[in-house]
Structure 1
Amino acid sequence: MATAMAKTTTTTMRASSLLLVIVLLLVLQLNSVLSWKKDEFRNCNQTPFCKRARSRKPGSCSLVATDVAIDDGDLIAKLVSKEADKGHGEGEEQQQEEEKEPVKPLIFKLSVFQNGILRVKIDEDPSLDPPKKRFEVPEVVLPEFENKKLWLQRVSTEVINGDSGPSSIVYLSDDHDAVLRHDPFEVYVRRKGGDRVVSMNSHGLFDFEQLRKKKEGEDWEERFRSHTDTRPYGPQSISFDVSFYGAGFVYGIPEHATSLALKPTRGPGIDHSEPYRLFNLDVFEYLHDSPFGLYGSIPFMISHGKAHGTSGFFWLNAAEMQIDVMGSGWDAESGISLPSSQSRIDTFWMSEAGIVDAFFFVGPGPKDVMKQYAIVTGTSALPQQFATAYHQCRWNYRDEEDVAHVDSKFDEHDIPYDVLWLDIEHTDGKKYFTWDRVLFPNPEEMQNKLAAKGRRMVTIVDPHIKRDESFHLHKEATKKGYYVKDATGNDFDGWCWPGSSSYPDTLNPEIRSWWAEKFSFQNYVGSTPSLYIWNDMNEPSVFNGPEVTMPRDAVHYGGVEHRELHNAYGYYFHMASADGLLKRGDGKDRPFVLSRAFFPGSQRYGAIWTGDNSADWDHLRVSVPMILTLGLTGISFSGADVGGFFGNLEPELLVRWYQLGAFYPFFRGHAHHDTKRREPWLFGERNTELIREAIHVRYMFLPYFYTLFREANTSGVPVMRPLWMEFPSDEATFSNDEAFMVGNSIFVQGIYTEHARHASVYLPAGQSWYDLRTGVAYKGGVTHKLEVSEESIPAFQKAGTIVPRKDRFRRSSTQMVKDPYTLVIALNSSKAAEGELYIDDGKSFEFEKGDYIHRRFLFSDGKLVSSNASPPASSNTPFSSDCFIERIVLLGLSLGAKSAIIEPANHRVDIELGPLNLRRGQMPSFPTIRKPNVRIADDWTIKIL
Structure 2
Amino acid sequence: MAPFRKFGVLFLLLCFVFTVQSVDRDNFKTCEQSSFCRRCRKVEAGKSPYQLLANTVSQNYSTLFAELFNKDTGVYYVLQLTALEENTFRLHINEKNPLKPRYEVEHALQGVPNQIKLTISEKTDDHTTVTNGPSKIVIYHTPLKIDSYFGDQLVISANARGLMRFEHLRTKVEKPTEGEEGAIVEEVISEYPGDGAESDPGAWEENFKSHHDSKPNGPEAIALDFSFPGAEFAYGIPQHADSFALKSTKGIDPYRLYNLDVFEYEVNERMALYGSIPVLYAHGKELTSGVFWHNAAETWVDIRSSTDNNVVESIVNFVSGGVKKPQVDAHFISESGVIDVFFLLGPSPLDTFRQYTLLTGVTPLPQLFTLGYHQCRWNYNDEQDVIDVNRNFDQYNISMDVMWLDIEYTDNKKYFTWDSRKFSKPLEMIENLTNVGRKLVVIIDPHIKRDNGYFIHNDATDNGYYVKHADGKDYEGWCWPGSSSYLDFFSPKIRDYFGDQYGLDKFHGTTNDVYIWNDMNEPSVFNGPEITMPKDLIHYGGWEHRDVHNINGLMFTSVTYDALIKRSQGTRRPFVLTRSHFAGSQRYAAVWTGDNAAEWSHLRISYPMCLSTAVAGMSFCGADIGGFFKNPDAELFTRWNQAGVWLPFFRQHAHIETKRREPWLFDDNTTRRVRDAIALRYSYLPLWYTLFREHEIKGYPVIRPLWAHYPAEFNSFAIDDQLLVGDAILVRPVTEASVTEVTVYFPGEGKDKWYDINTMEEYSTPGNVRIPVNIDMIPVYQRSGTIVPRKMRNRRSSVAMKDDPYTLVVIGDNMKKASGTLYIDDETSFEYRQGKYIYLQLFFDGNVLSSKHIDKLNKFETKSWLERVNIVNAPQNVKSAKLVTKSGSTTLEVNFNPNNKVLTIRKPAVNMGEEWTIELIR
TM-score range, shorter chain: over 0.9
Q: What residue identity is the alignment partner of 1:541?
A: S
1:260 aligned partner? 244
SS of equivalent residue, structure 1 residue 137: coil
Query: Which residue, 460, 467, 476 being the options, matches 2:443?
Result: 460
Q: What residue identity is the alignment partner of 1:254?
A: P
* Contact 1:410–1:417 (Cα < 8 Å) also in 2: yes
C-alpha separation between the residues in 2 aligned to 1:734 and 1:753?
A: 22
C-alpha separation between the residues in 1 aligned to 2:704 and 2:306?
A: 28
C-alpha separation between the residues in 2 aligned to 1:409 and 1:305?
A: 51
1:794 aligned partner? 779
Q: What residue identity is the alignment partner of 1:53?
A: C
* Contact 2:122–2:130 (Cα < 8 Å) also in 1: no
* Contact 2:414–2:449 (Cα < 8 Å) also in 1: yes
Q: Does 1:57 align with 2:44?
A: yes
C-alpha separation between the residues in 1 aligned to 2:497 and 2:364?
A: 23
C-alpha separation between the residues in 2 aligned to 1:135 and 1:144?
A: 17
Query: Which residue, 933, 936, 940 being the options, matches 2:909?
Result: 933
Query: Which residue, 253, 272, 275 being the options, matches 1:274?
Result: 253
1:830 aligned partner? 815
Deviates more, 1:763-772 or 1:425-434: 763-772
SS of equivalent residue, structure 1 residue 294: coil
C-alpha separation between the residues in 1 aligned to 2:772 and 2:60?
A: 65
Cα deviation for residue 70 of structure 1 reads 0.9
C-alpha separation between the residues in 2 aligned to 1:828 and 1:32?
A: 51
Cα deviation for residue 327 of structure 1 reads 3.8
* Contact 2:305–2:327 (Cα < 8 Å) also in 1: no
1:830-869 → structure 2 map (5 Å cutoff): 830-869=815-854
C-alpha separation between the residues in 1 aligned to 2:68 and 2:35?
A: 25
C-alpha separation between the residues in 2 aligned to 1:200 and 1:105?
A: 19
Deviations 1:132-181 (A, max 9, x none): 21111112212252xx21143x523356xxxxx521111122x2112221
Deviations 1:555-580 (A, max 9, x none): 10111000011000001001011111
Cα deviation for residue 310 of structure 1 reads 0.7
Deviations 1:468-517 (A, max 9, x none): 11100111111111111123321110000000111111112221121111
1:672-821 → structure 2 map (5 Å cutoff): 672-765=655-748, 766-821=751-806
Cα deviation for residue 328 of structure 1 reads 3.0
2:122 aligned partner? 157
Query: Which residue, 65, 68, 71 being the options, matches 2:57?
Result: 68
Report how many residues are paired: 875
Q: Does 1:897 align with 2:884?
A: no
2:637 aligned partner? 654
1:319 aligned partner? 297
SS of equivalent residue, structure 1 residue 106: strand
Q: Does 1:208 align with 2:166?
A: yes
* Contact 2:232–2:328 (Cα < 8 Å) also in 1: yes
1:198 aligned partner? 156
C-alpha separation between the residues in 1 aligned to 2:826 and 2:246?
A: 40
SS of equivalent residue, structure 1 residue 770: strand
C-alpha separation between the residues in 2 aligned to 1:394 and 1:103?
A: 59
Q: What residue identity is the alignment partner of 1:105?
A: Y
Cα deviation for residue 827 of structure 1 reads 1.4
* Contact 1:836–1:854 (Cα < 8 Å) also in 2: yes
2:567 aligned partner? 584
* Contact 1:367–1:717 (Cα < 8 Å) also in 2: yes
1:142 aligned partner? 110
CA shift in 2, pair 1:439/1:835, >3 Å = same
* Contact 1:769–1:780 (Cα < 8 Å) also in 2: no
C-alpha separation between the residues in 2 aligned to 1:504 and 1:583?
A: 20
* Contact 2:846–2:875 (Cα < 8 Å) also in 1: no
Cα deviation for residue 34 of structure 1 reads 7.0
SS of equivalent residue, structure 1 residue 2: coil
1:47 aligned partner? 34
C-alpha separation between the residues in 2 aligned to 1:222 and 1:284?
A: 24
Q: Does 1:377 align with 2:356?
A: no
2:314 aligned partner? none
C-alpha separation between the residues in 2 aligned to 1:31 and 1:759?
A: 34
C-alpha separation between the residues in 2 aligned to 1:27 and 1:809?
A: 43
2:129 aligned partner? 169
* Contact 1:415–1:692 (Cα < 8 Å) also in 2: yes
* Contact 1:3–1:34 (Cα < 8 Å) also in 2: no
Q: What residue identity is the alignment partner of 1:643?
A: G
1:9 aligned partner? 8
Query: Which residue, 89, 92, 102 being the options, matches 1:118?
Result: 89
* Contact 2:504–2:510 (Cα < 8 Å) also in 1: yes
Q: What residue identity is the alignment partner of 2:2?
A: A
Cα deviation for residue 294 of structure 1 reads 0.3
Cα deviation for residue 27 of structure 1 reads 7.8
1:235 aligned partner? 219
Q: Which runs of 5+ in 1 are unaligned?
A: 13-22, 85-101, 160-164, 331-339, 916-922
Q: What residue identity is the alignment partner of 1:305?
A: G
Cα deviation for residue 345 of structure 1 reads 0.9
C-alpha separation between the residues in 2 aligned to 1:158 and 1:892?
A: 61
1:104-503 → structure 2 map (5 Å cutoff): 104-125=75-96, 128=97, 130-145=98-113, 148-152=114-118, 154-158=119-123, 165-173=125-133, 175-193=134-152, 195-216=153-174, 217=186, 218=188, 220-266=204-250, 271=251, 273-307=252-286, 309-328=287-306, 343-503=326-486
Identity %: 44
1:20 aligned partner? none
2:177 aligned partner? none
Deviates more, 1:855-864 or 1:66-75: 66-75
CA shift in 2, pair 1:206/1:866, >3 Å = same
2:69 aligned partner? 80
1:530 aligned partner? 513
Q: Does 1:572 align with 2:555?
A: yes
* Contact 1:828–1:892 (Cα < 8 Å) also in 2: no
TM-score, with length taken from structure 2: 0.93
Deviates more, 1:219-228 or 1:816-825: 219-228
SS of equivalent residue, structure 1 residue 550: coil
* Contact 1:3–1:33 (Cα < 8 Å) also in 2: no
Q: What residue identity is the alignment partner of 1:2?
A: A
C-alpha separation between the residues in 2 aligned to 1:889 and 1:826?
A: 8
Cα deviation for residue 924 of structure 1 reads 4.5
Deviations 1:290-315 (A, max 9, x none): 011100001100111112x1111001
CA shift in 2, pair 1:422/1:560, >3 Å = same
C-alpha separation between the residues in 2 aligned to 1:341 and 1:870?
A: 49
Q: Which runs of 5+ in 2 are unaligned?
A: 175-185, 189-200, 309-322
* Contact 1:506–1:512 (Cα < 8 Å) also in 2: yes
* Contact 2:491–2:540 (Cα < 8 Å) also in 1: yes
Cα deviation for residue 192 of structure 1 reads 3.2
1:534-683 → structure 2 map (5 Å cutoff): 534-683=517-666
SS of equivalent residue, structure 2 residue 566: helix
Cα deviation for residue 33 of structure 1 reads 12
Cα deviation for residue 895 of structure 1 reads 4.6
CA shift in 2, pair 1:32/1:43, >3 Å = farther
Deviates more, 1:523-532 or 1:508-517: 508-517
* Contact 2:823–2:837 (Cα < 8 Å) also in 1: yes
Cα deviation for residue 326 of structure 1 reads 1.4
TM-score, with length taken from structure 1: 0.90
Deviations 1:774-797 (A, max 9, x none): 111111423221111111000000
Deviations 1:599-654 (A, max 9, x none): 00001002001100010000000000000000000001111111010001110000
